[in-house]
Amino acid sequence: MTMLNVGRPTRPEAVAQSQPATLTGGRGLLQDEPLIFELGGWEKTGVDLAEPDLGADDLGDLARNAPIGLPGLSEPEALRHYVRLSQKNHAIDLALYPLGSCTMKHNPRLNEKMARLAGFADLHPLQPASTIQGALALMDQLAHWLKTLTGMPAVALSPKAGAHGELCGLLAIRAAHEARGDARKRVLVPSSAHGTNPATAAFVGYAVEEIAQTADGRVDLGDLAAKLGPDVAAIMVTNPNTCGLFERDIVEIARLTHEAGAYFYCDGANFNAIVGRVRPADLGVDAMHINLHKTFSTPHGGGGPGAGPVVLSAALAPYAPTPWVVHGEAGFGLVEHVEGSASFGRMSAFHGQMGMFVRALTYMMSHGADGLRQVAEDAVLNANYIKARLSGVMTAPFDGPCMHEALFDDAWLEGTDVSTLDFAKAMIDEGFHPMTMYFPLVVHGAMLIEPTETESKAEIDRFCDALLALAGAAKAGDVDRFKGAPFHAPLRRLDETLAARKPKLRWKPEEPALAAAE
Ligand SMILES: *Cc1c(COP(=O)(O)O)cnc(C)c1O
């Protein structure tokens, strides 16, 4: 395998003896792509600028005395570099993205068109309210839809992601307890929870305690009741949960929690499964984040730009973070600060992710109330179709229908010498992004598949056919197909742990290129 000078492997090894590695590292019209610093020369530039006549400056010792070291590329070189990089990313616009617990659904182009309207896209967050009445009206309307769909009286729009929303909810809960002089210490979280739940509770300063799971994949009520007590500040429960199952005892869970004087934080990442059908307020929820990128079709980015608004019950609403939109005789306004209010503060500079607000409201309004209900129904139908098609071969840890995602374990792979990881890597060779692997942790070798409502039956069938064919190969002992997979991807199996633990974040030239240019 060839390495770049930063130690990054570039060329794939031979797929098989009969297929040699390419000579250039390119593959089927896809070129191998170096880093931009390896690509661009110091000596050239893509633009033709006049020598600046700066005269004397005040920088003194701080003036740069070496070249800045930016790579120079012509316009086509720069453009191609980024287009080639984009081809290395899988995307929802390329194919099905079956990650469970992530709800990777189609991003309608109408959303993009609306978000690019100059009246939304060209605003500055410091403009006077009188000049952004339309944007504030849009935020007000989004808040109205979120409150109506959840049945909750208040919403904080500013959190920037689901995890940020969890932080918002727990800060409101902490503020509510503190306002009563009730310094509670513990937060209870089920064993199947997403990692952000215990991380958030710990970040806010709580001790985290795990709630056991029943044999059918739900919260163990007996264990919850035993662990609730006067020092429990909140429970954090995902519904439908991360096993793709509706918590049947959710009303009783809420009742027990409130009886103990604690609040019920609901992780709303799976709202896509129940939107338009179930109002979390009716279940006894006190706070819930809504990942606009999971339920309301805004793009997932690498950690952003997201939006995770948090709906709050009447008990928590007084502690909501600023700012919020108000509507009075003078039109719309943004409340930034209220003297003497119980608000716990702010979650972010300014007001949140405007571009995501526009996209989410566009999605809501283009579907209407009945369309949003159908979203949930179709998402659940599609997941159950997958579960039914694959269950003959793959094993599901929990019987019965699922909600929006179908969970399998690795019991069916026993004796094949193929692991969940091998199976997922072989899916890449077949042109499919793998499902979520090894999550939730409570299921051995978990494979969590979420098709969403936006995939057609034909596409879901193609996906199931590929999985069934691979499963057949695994059972037939074709182990080589799995152990070395992916064979056809630009890069093979990477040391993901090393990459996460010791990321190389800074490029340094091997050759003293900068020195040479001086
Ligand atoms: C995605 C997810 C989160 C975190 O949301 P982000 O928007 O990625 O921060 C939390 N809980 C569950 C169950 C999730 O699926």
Residue 512: predicted pLDDT: 55
pLDDT bucket at 2, cuts 50 / 70 / 90: very low
Which ligand 1 atom sits closest to the C-alpha of 103? 15
Residue 80 has pLDDT above 60, yes or no: yes
CATH T-level fold of 368-501: Aspartate Aminotransferase, domain 1 (3.90.1150)
pLDDT band of residue 481 (cuts 50, 70, 90) is very high
Residue ranges of the chain assigned to CATH 3.90.1150.10: 368-501
Residue nearest to atom 6 of ligand 1 (CA): 162
pTM for this predicted structure: 0.90
The residue-averaged pLDDT of 414-418 equals: 97
Show the beta-strand stretches assigned E in 2-80: none
Q: Going by C-beta distance under 8 Å and a sequence separation of 6 or more, which residues neighbour residue 82?
A: none
Measured between alpha carbons, how far is 270 from 162 in angstroms, rounded to an integer? 11
Mean pLDDT of 273-287: 98
Confidence of residue 1 (pLDDT cuts 50, 70, 90): very low
**pLDDT tens per residue, range 197-210:** 999 999 999 999 99
Who has greater pLDDT, 485 or 59?
485
Task: Give distance in angstroms: CA of 26 to centre of ligand 1.
Answer: 36
Q: Are 168 and 288 spatial neighbours (Cβ–Cβ below 8 Å)?
A: no
**Residue 217 to residue 215: CA distance in whole angstroms:** 6
pLDDT of residue 275: 98
Q: Which atom number of ligand 1 is nearest to the Cα of residue 242?
A: 13
Q: Given a cut of 90, is residue 225 above it in pLDDT?
A: yes
Atom of ligand 1 nearest to the CA of 165: 9
What's residue 28's pLDDT? 81
Mean pLDDT over all residues of the chain? 92
Give the pLDDT score at 490.
Answer: 78
212-216, 276-280, 302-306, 341-345: least confidently modelled range: 302-306
Atom 2 in ligand 1: residue holding the nearest Cα? 269
Percent of the chain whose pLDDT exceeds 90: 77
Tokens of 441: 């942790």
Q: Which of 236, 239, 274, 291 to mutate to test the pocket of ligand 1 (most atoms within 8 A of CB)?
A: 291
CA distance 296 to 459: 21
The CA distance from 95 to 106, in Å, is 10
**Are the CB atoms for 326 and 137 separated by under 8 Å?**
no
Q: For residue 378, give the H/E element and its range.
A: helix 354-390
- The domain defined by 110-365 folds into Aspartate Aminotransferase; domain 2 (3.40.640)
| Residues in the ligand 1 pocket, defined by CB under 6 Å | 101-102, 161-163, 194, 196, 238, 242, 267, 269, 291, 306, 308
DSSP string, 225-239: HHH--TTEEEEEEES
Domain with CATH 3.40.640.10 in the chain: 110-365
User: 194 CA distance to ligand 1 centroid (A)?
Assistant: 7
